[in-house]
Amino acid sequence: MASNNARHLIGQHGEHEPVDAREESDTTLELREEELSARKTTTERGRVAVGTEVVEEQQTIEVPVTREEVTVERHAVDRRPSADPISANGEVLRVPVHEDQVSVGKEAVVYEEVNVGKRAVQETQRVSDTVRKEVVDIDATGEVDEVDVNERR
């Protein structure tokens, strides 16, 4: 404090330098304080890749197939005269025989759909920092006996 009879009346500092000192008798001194405010920016935090890959597996299906067999049945008949004579070369009867042949084909079919989307998930984060505040600091010099301080909020 500048003089010997200076007293600290209210406040935390006890002594301060009047950098912005002005002499006024009836005025208002504004006290300021800092408040925290949050700003948000959206940033990419990663990526998810959704794709396909080809895997192979052995499959077996059962297919009903048909084949023909030649049957020869012999049975006795009543003897009767034949209109054709016996051939010198013999007689050949040709019977075509068929069977089903199975071949495997492949066709791509859609078996499932995968929907990919995003959803916003709301959560709360705590952030903190140190804030500053101006408080009243009253020093008296000379013959000032009392300072009446009324607190209004």
Do residues 32 and 134 touch, judged by C-beta distance below 8 A?
Answer: yes
In angstroms, the first-to-last Cα distance of the chain is 31
pLDDT tens for 53-69 read 999 999 999 999 999 99
Q: Which of 16, 11, 27 is nearest to 133 (CA)?
A: 11
pLDDT tens for 17-42 read 655 666 777 888 899 999 999 999 99
Q: Residue 138: phi, psi to the nearest 5?
A: -115, 125
How far is 34 from 130, CA to CA, in rounded Å? 9
How far is 143 from 2, CA to CA, in rounded Å? 14
- Window from 63-72, 82-91, 136-145 with minimum mean pLDDT: 136-145
DSSP 79-146: ----SSPPPSS---------B---------------------------------B----EEE-SS---
The average confidence (pLDDT) of the chain is 87
* Domain chopping of the chain, boundaries: 1-16+129-146
Span 75-100, average pLDDT: 91
Full-model pTM: 0.48
The amino acid sitting at 48 is V
